[in-house]
Structure 1
Amino acid sequence: MEGLTLVALPTAVATTAPGQIQTQRNQMNALRDDYDALRENLRLDELAGDATLSPLALLLTELRDKARVYFGHIDDAAFLDWLDQVQPEDLSDDAGTGATGGFARLADTVDELDAFVMTALEELSLLDDALDGAQAEVKLAALWQKTFTRAAAAQEAWLEQAIVRRGRAVVEEIYPDADERRRLYQYGFSPYVGRRFEVIAPVIAEQLGDAGEYGRETPAQRLARFAALGELLKEDRGFGFRVRETVTDQTILENWTDVLAWWMRGPGAEQPDAVDLRAQQRFVADNLEFRLGVAIGAVVAQKWTAGAGDPLAVPSLAEWKSTTGLPWFGFWARELLRWGTLDPFVAFALAQGRAKTRETAEALRANFDAWLAEEVAAPTAEDLIDPQRFLAWERSLPSRERERVEPVPELAELTGTNGVMNRYNVLPIAAEDEVLWVDAAGYELARSVDEFGLYDADDIANDYVLESGAQASVRRSFARPRRR
């Protein structure tokens, strides 16, 4: 029956060998204990009823429970006093490195709480630079009243006190410098990790700023820029590269520039063997696209905010260079990592849907270069990768005339319905000389003739309606727009 599970437990030993009887008895007892534990867990879940633990409450509860285990706090008051003064670095030298030791995880939990508190305070005080401890308490207490955590754990008064008191400690004792708090918030890392990142952030900014000739550089020179940026992150396990402890992953980390060259289509890059492809793709996603991309993005965002002077200012292409003080490479670096190319034009063409593959996008580059030569007498290195130039080139291309003729309904034969509902939303499945019209669950409702092979797999992206009426027919109700 649906919703019921049959659990079979042995009730007697099956062996007659004297040496195996006790072994099977032990196995029977272990299975019975597992079954009893399962029933008890189900009973406790049922008793919990509608109790819901929010992510913030879960974080605080986990922090309190760990503190009790390691420091012997016997009540909530002792825990709150401890929370007023504890800092991640006091708990473990491995804080913010992804270490799995007990104290390292406790330190990371404190750091995650600080990240929440600091984010809340910064976003509540974007236009208020004179935030003190008392104001922090007031703002966090007001925020608490609007959180799901308060509604989900109304009986736990200590949760509110934990947030409010930790907020005051962050402002007065742990991160008292308002400018530092704002920078750490803008980086996007947890505060303790952000302090480490702040050491290399100026170096990243300097390397981005030195790339004014990127548009004219050779592929080897371009690849070297990304390798230099990656070396800054390679050793740190907080904001930097991180892999599993397997031999394969550790080997990839040691030779990560080879993976970079392959992913970015660098000169002379070797293609990975099939057995290594998945591991290298995982390294690209986790460390090149994400970790290196986030680090670059954090520095660029901080440069924009510092240059704009207004925390609410919205970035624009027209003002991007003058505001950040960076060349266009700073604008493109993260996108290049995402798309796996050294050429900003290729990233642009892929992002805009002008090409479906990097090879196709590379072939379009000649068209842009010819257009630019006509528009600009002596293009600079920056002109060659200026996103505003790319957009202007795209606008110069002829647009495809939209279909204006109303499509004619196509006659169909009902096969999986009697048509009692009159109207059905369907999708086409192309078959040999015919089309199967199915509903969202995949059940066939009708068929129609397609002797000219007009339908293919791409048509599933369009919307169609099957109408029974006197004569069943199918008409297209929506067509996905396609670029030239």
Structure 2
Amino acid sequence: MQQLAKNLSEAESSAIETLDSLDSILLSAIVEIEQLEAKDLSPNELEEHLQKIWQRSFAHYASCEQERLENLFIKRGRALKTEIYKDLSQRRRLYRTSLPPRDGNQLLTLYPRLKEQLVLGRDYAIWTVEERFNYIQNIVSNLSSLSKFRLSDSSRNVSWNEILRWWLDPTKATKKPKPTQISNWHSYISQNFGYRFNWGLGSVIALAIDEAFGGELVESSLENWSQTGLPWIVFWMKELIVWGTLDPVAAYLLAKVEDVTTRKQAEELAQTYYQQIDEQVPNERLNAMNVKDWVERSFSNVERHLPTAKTPTEINVNLLQDFSKAPSKNWRVVPVEIGDDIQWFDLAGFPLAICQKPEKWQSDFLNTYDFMLDAENRFVSSKIYV
């Protein structure tokens, strides 16, 4: 495959990338439609739905070749379902990866090995610093073997492993940046670990959730995390990368407590948590509910990081889709303000519900709250981020 890619012209490579991007959009649409309809659509039913989607698209209004492009859009969507990805489960899993199909298939192949490696972190809470770093380093290495998440080249005198070590465990780092290099190292960390690696990790977690609940869309919550089969350290790993620490409790303190401003201070305070926690099972020591409760009890100023204004607990809405045959009645949604109204979209961009903008609504609620649509009872509930 790699040799074939090298022999392709620039125009051919560009065409393949363009088609893969179109397939990604179409697969998302097909999976969302099938979940809403709760059935495997016939080719004619699929064509009808794809035509409606096209007619609501910007391309429909902007294109000078609307009819030809619409036919291409519909024919490719039908081919994806009936010829290329015939299995409903495969379509859904590719959709869960949030990747174009070619990259998504690579991740699906690697997923079983990645999950096995992630599960090894159950004892992370009692590991040494070296064991913790090696665990994260190995996961970064395996995930970055995929082309979509491949790490960019660092400078000749330092490897990505050494940069990661400096970021997560500076006291034991054998190589450290000179003052003139710090900005470049931070940029490398942001692009490769904060963006590429965390994106890939999110895709792996999405596959684990899909696997745990048999493809059913369920509300993502701390209470059902254990059902994914992943240890709690996987839940915290993105935060470790963002805050530059190997300690999940320290990462949470840095994120939530105003007076905690350095990693050293956060890591020292985190030791108090480990001394007080009663859990004998190492994995449960990193249970996010335990950490959250301890921080709220121990630090009075943690509330300053909560929004001063609050959304209504429940917002009544009018549905824009028929959910009577949908396997799940609960859908994660995001608010989009349109004049005096709010349209509630699912994560693939489909409008599911609409309501008038609540009194004292703030646009920033999108950044501070999770929203769930209860289609059966026709309301959107809100819950603050952990």
Q: Structure 2 length as normaliser, TM-score?
A: 0.71
Residue 93, structure 1, aligned to residue 93, structure 2: no
- How many residue pairs get aligned? The number is 300
Residue 223, structure 1, aligned to residue 127, structure 2: no
| Match for residue 190 of structure 2 among 285, 297, 303 | 285
- Deviation per residue, 1:359-386 (Å, 9 max, x gap): 22112113323432xxx2x533123322
Residue type of the partner of 2:63? Answer: A
Counterparts of 2:98 and 2:155 in 1: how far apart (Å)? 27
Residue 149, structure 1, aligned to residue 34, structure 2: no
| Match for residue 119 of structure 1 among 15, 28, 32 | 28
Residue 384, structure 1, aligned to residue 296, structure 2: no
Task: Indicate how the Cα distance of structure 1 residues 197 and 400 shifts in structure 2: closer, same or farther if over 3 A, else same.
Answer: closer
Counterparts of 2:213 and 2:146 in 1: how far apart (Å)? 30
Residue 349, structure 1, aligned to residue 216, structure 2: no
Counterparts of 1:110 and 1:90 in 2: how far apart (Å)? 18
Counterparts of 2:72 and 2:56 in 1: how far apart (Å)? 16
- Deviation per residue, 1:374-431 (Å, 9 max, x gap): xx2x5331233221111111232363699xxxxxxxxxxxxxxxxxxxxxxxxxxxxx
Residue 204, structure 1, aligned to residue 106, structure 2: no
Task: Indicate how the Cα distance of structure 1 residues 183 and 91 shifts in structure 2: closer, same or farther if over 3 A, else same.
Answer: farther
My pick for the range that moved more, 387-396 or 150-159, is: 150-159
State the partner residue of 1:408. none
Instruction: Give the CA deviation at 1:155.
Output: 5.6
| Contact 1:133/1:168, CA 8 A, preserved across alignment | yes
Counterparts of 2:92 and 2:302 in 1: how far apart (Å)? 50
State the partner residue of 1:136. 46
| Contact 2:296/2:302, CA 8 A, preserved across alignment | no
Counterparts of 1:158 and 1:148 in 2: how far apart (Å)? 15
Instruction: Give the CA deviation at 1:330.
Output: 1.7
Instruction: Give the CA deviation at 1:276.
Output: 2.9
Residue 332, structure 1, aligned to residue 236, structure 2: yes
Task: Indicate how the Cα distance of structure 1 residues 268 and 395 shifts in structure 2: closer, same or farther if over 3 A, else same.
Answer: closer
Task: Indicate how the Cα distance of structure 1 residues 342 and 219 shifts in structure 2: closer, same or farther if over 3 A, else same.
Answer: same
- Deviation per residue, 1:270-314 (Å, 9 max, x gap): 321233333322221122122211222111111112212463311
Residue 263, structure 1, aligned to residue 167, structure 2: yes
Question: Where does structure 2 lack aligned partners over 5 or more consecutive residues?
Answer: 304-386
| Contact 1:336/1:344, CA 8 A, preserved across alignment | yes
Residue type of the partner of 1:386? Answer: N
- Deviation per residue, 1:15-51 (Å, 9 max, x gap): xxxxxxxxxxxxxxxxxxxxxxxxxxxxxxxxxxxxx
3-state SS of the aligned residue for 2:224?
helix
| Match for residue 90 of structure 2 among 180, 189, 197 | 180
- Deviation per residue, 1:130-158 (Å, 9 max, x gap): 13433321211111122222222366211
Task: Indicate how the Cα distance of structure 1 residues 174 and 266 shifts in structure 2: closer, same or farther if over 3 A, else same.
Answer: farther
- Aligned-residue sequence identity (percent) comes to 27
Residue type of the partner of 2:112? Answer: P
| Contact 2:210/2:216, CA 8 A, preserved across alignment | yes
- What pairs with 1:370-449 in structure 2 (closer than 5 Å)? 370-372=275-277, 376=278, 379-397=280-298, 399=300
- Deviation per residue, 1:119-176 (Å, 9 max, x gap): 1111222243513433321211111122222222366211211211110111122222
Residue type of the partner of 2:196? Answer: R
State the partner residue of 2:222. 317
- Deviation per residue, 1:220-248 (Å, 9 max, x gap): 101101111122134443332234xxxxx
Task: Indicate how the Cα distance of structure 1 residues 172 and 289 shifts in structure 2: closer, same or farther if over 3 A, else same.
Answer: same
Instruction: Give the CA deviation at 1:267.
Output: 5.0
Task: Indicate how the Cα distance of structure 1 residues 133 and 280 shifts in structure 2: closer, same or farther if over 3 A, else same.
Answer: farther
Higher relative contact order (CA 8 A, sep 6+): 2
Counterparts of 1:126 and 1:317 in 2: how far apart (Å)? 24
Residue 302, structure 1, aligned to residue 192, structure 2: no
Question: Where does structure 1 lack aligned partners over 5 or more consecutive residues?
Answer: 1-88, 244-248, 403-484
| Contact 2:253/2:295, CA 8 A, preserved across alignment | no
| Contact 1:332/1:344, CA 8 A, preserved across alignment | yes
Q: Which has the larger radius of gyration?
A: 1
Counterparts of 2:116 and 2:137 in 1: how far apart (Å)? 15
- What pairs with 1:156-171 in structure 2 (closer than 5 Å)? 156-171=66-81
| Contact 2:51/2:70, CA 8 A, preserved across alignment | yes
Counterparts of 1:219 and 1:177 in 2: how far apart (Å)? 44
